[in-house]
Amino acid sequence: MAKWIRRLLASVLVLGALATGAFVLYVGLPAHSVPDLEPVDRYVYLNQGWTESVDSPGRQTYYYTGQGATLPQGATHDALRYDWFVHLEMPLGKKRFADPDHMRAWRFLVDPEPTAANPHQLPVGFARHFEPTVGEYMLDLTCAACHSGEIHYKRDGEHLAVRIDGGQAMHDFAGVERGSFASTLLASLISTRYNPMKFDRFGRNVIGDSYPQGKTELKRNLSATIKRLMSSGQNNPLRHLYPVEEGYGRTDALSRIANTVFGDHLVAANYQVGDAPVSYPYVWNIWKFDWVQYNGSVRQPLSRNIGESLGVGARVLLTDDYGRPLPPEQRFSSSTSIPNLQTIEHTLQTLQPPRWPEAVFGDVDADNAEAGKALFEQHCQGCHGPHVASPARQQANAPGKPSASMEWLIEVIPVEHIGTDPAAATGFVERRYDLTPTGLTQREVAAALRPLNVRYLSREMRYHLSELIDLRAKGGHAVGALSDVLQHYPNPDTARDIELPRRSFAAIDSALDELSVAQTQHSRQNPPDAQRSCDQACHEQWLRWHIQFGEQHLEDSLAAIDVSSVSEGEGLNILGIMIKQKYYRDNNISYAQQTCLEGFGTIDLPQQVAGYKPRPLEGVWATPPFLHNGSVPSLYEMLLPPEQRTRRFFVGRRDFDPVHVGYVTEPSARGEGGFWLDTSIAGNRNTGHAFSATANEWAERHDQPLPPGVIGPLLSDKERWSLVEYLKVHRDAAPTNVNYTPHDCLSGDRDTLTVARSN
């Protein structure tokens, strides 16, 4: 008997030690490791089209419109309720977990006062949506949580926080190290569940006067949420899915979206290593781009936004609880709120790039900036543009846009040319995922993609025909029957399901044959314009090849799709199309409304290029650190040869350096949270985009062509400072008309394709 008693006591001691260890690990350490708060005396809101008031409608709509996401990702009954988050206490005390100063310490943005849209003063991007299957409001994360920035600066003894709407966040939302947001949230949930006094306070706040009624159910739900958080597949440290520290202001965005969608929501075998953290891109004017994802992989705004919502926690039904395919009519239901995504997207279309606030950061040297403008036009504008589309190209890309001035062409620069860290680009192209557990077949995928491919081919035929006619007319050449063919070319955008206009293709081919004889005679008598002749030949060659082989190439491409091994771009594209089609069917959305919702009639087909897009640079001063992975701390260092850039610097401090134009790169005496970004690590490289030499200079020095990553001559220090000064005031183009009003796609005339107007 005594032996059993000793064993029992030993077991109790072991269990007690384990419980104590677990408490210290999951509650004590996180509670005592929260970063220090950055001092702020006054908040400054720039007028980026939304006035300088914190409660302007545009700002509040963007900040707090829910999109159907939950925490943990994709959860329903075990998701974190909005009221829980509001009333949750810190692990070792009574102070609210969501206290504004706690959230600011984790580098979330919190407005100085509550507003009607944010009565509990939660961080920017923390919203709510009602979940009817549960009967409660869920905590909802929106794109504003990551695509809003803040710059701190001390002027005349006053600590200022300058809000950059649409800019880059500085938080470490996904980090799970001690003291991080995620680990402390888990600690708060655990201590609330198992500390009776803490739970009673929590229960009375959440349930209200009827408490303790519902107490048992609340405990059960809280336990389920804790279990779901602790069992998150992609954040399991044993999987080592994110070996490169993301840190403050970065995340491996596309990898996390794919791991959430194809791993968490589908099968664990789809989890892939993400070793390429990127900075959150700024989003002003992005609606004007022809490629709207940061790596140039997505053309359609709604497709990008659905992928983003899934990445931060929107639910999508892919299989049943046993991993079996759902009935076809039930597949691809999603909690993503497409109407709210429309609201957010249209609100962002009214957002302007931030202007350098001289009252905060000091005056711009006008003479130096003027010298920098000439250098920018010589060395930078060729890549960064903006390059405004021709009317014909705009009609092919986005026929719903009011004018070509709203369609900017963005070229994706291959990694072997730009020379920057290739991890994000190559990983996106090389990773593969299995969609067969959903029950999808190659035939179903081909049927969904075929109408989009047919419409794309038909639009491109019309575009090249239009450009060829225009070039010939400008060169004084006859256009023959081509003009008549274009006039009667059928509109490929009148219905969802279309067929290739084969008669028009044949008519184009015949007209080209007739013109080729006349062109030969004309060229004998007139010296050709070399560039125009080359452009004409390119358009004619494109037309002839696609008339002969385009349809077969389309079918071959569809037949080659392997549903068991799709790339990241293909998989997200297919899933997005299926989610949209399910929503359209369930809600009786007309074809005209569909094209409006999707973004100006843009076709949802992906592009897969291992490269990065050199986006327009208005407002870039407000978005440090630089390069896609945040590996260069200032604009000044962007103009240095890579070997002269800082190799290791501190990230997490938002104090601004208006001279070099970047954040201060050393921790302060306060010891605020952050991490040291080491550019010697693959994924963090600060190589490429080098102003080191011209082609002739390099050949003279090294007797070989320019290596990857060298894009311009070695600049003098004076030239660098002139460019930095100019980038403070650079304007991409005339701002959007203040009277521009996006069309509400879900109201009004259901059969109208017009999606925007400019008064």
β-pairing verdict for 408-409 and 387-388: antiparallel
* Distance set, CA 340 to CA 227, 264, 283, 287, 323 (Å): 30, 24, 17, 16, 30
The H-or-E segment that residue 278 falls in is strand 278-279
Q: What is the pLDDT of residue 750?
A: 44
Q: What is the pLDDT of residue 671?
A: 67
Q: What is the pLDDT of residue 21?
A: 53
Q: How far from chain centre, in Å, is Cα 9? A: 56
Please identify every stretch of the chain with a pLDDT value under 70, giving residue numbers as ranges.
Answer: 1-33, 517-532, 671-672, 748-759
The H-or-E segment that residue 279 falls in is strand 278-279
Q: What is the pLDDT of residue 243?
A: 94
Q: What is the pLDDT of residue 295?
A: 83
Q: What is the pLDDT of residue 238?
A: 78
Return the DSSP state at 7: H
pLDDT per residue over 98-124, tens digit each? 999 999 999 999 999 999 999 999 999
Q: What is the pLDDT of residue 697?
A: 76
| 433 within 8 A of 270, measured Cβ to Cβ | yes
Q: Which two tokens stand for residue 238?
A: 């044993």
Residues whose CB falls within 8 Å of the CB of residue 278, separated by 6 or more in sequence, listed in order:
250, 251, 252, 253, 294, 424, 628, 629, 630
Q: Cα–Cα distance between 314 and 261 in angstroms, integer?
A: 9
Task: Name the 3-class secondary structure at 140.
Answer: strand
Query: Any idea which residue has 């005209």 for tokens?
Result: 592
Q: Cα–Cα distance between 306 and 593 in angstroms, integer?
A: 17
Query: Any idea which residue has 């905060």 for tokens?
Result: 360
Query: Any idea which residue has 């600066």 for tokens?
Result: 153
* Distance set, CA 564 to CA 333, 395, 433, 439 (Å): 21, 35, 7, 11
Residues whose CB falls within 8 Å of the CB of residue 362, separated by 6 or more in sequence, listed in order:
658
Q: 10 Å Cβ neighbour count for 20?
A: 11
Q: Which two tokens stand for residue 117?
A: 């849209």
State the average pLDDT for the chain: 90
β-pairing verdict for 42-45 and 158-165: parallel
Q: What is the pLDDT of residue 178?
A: 80
Q: Cα–Cα distance between 150 and 112 in angstroms, integer?
A: 13
Q: 10 Å Cβ neighbour count for 505?
A: 22
| 280 within 8 A of 311, measured Cβ to Cβ | no
Q: Which two tokens stand for residue 656?
A: 């601004």
Q: Where are the beta strands (DSSP E) in 652-745?
A: 656-657, 662-663, 675-678, 690-692, 710-713, 741-742
Closest to 695 in 3D by CA, of 712, 673, 674: 712
Q: How far from chain centre, in Å, is Cα 676? A: 24
Burial of 194 (0-12, 13-18, 19+ CB in 10 A): middle
N-term to C-term CA, the chain: 91
Dihedral sign of CA atoms 264, 267, 268, 271 in order: negative
Q: What is the pLDDT of residue 76?
A: 87
Q: What pTM value is reported for the model?
A: 0.92
Q: Cα–Cα distance between 498 and 459 in angstroms, integer?
A: 12
DSSP code string of 646-670 = -SEEEES--BEETTTTEE--S--TT
* CB-facing half-sphere around the CA of 669: CA atoms within 13 A: 0
Return the DSSP state at 681: S
Q: Cα–Cα distance between 298 and 603 in angstroms, integer?
A: 10
Looking at the DSSP bridge assignments, the partners of residue 148 are 165
Q: 10 Å Cβ neighbour count for 668?
A: 14
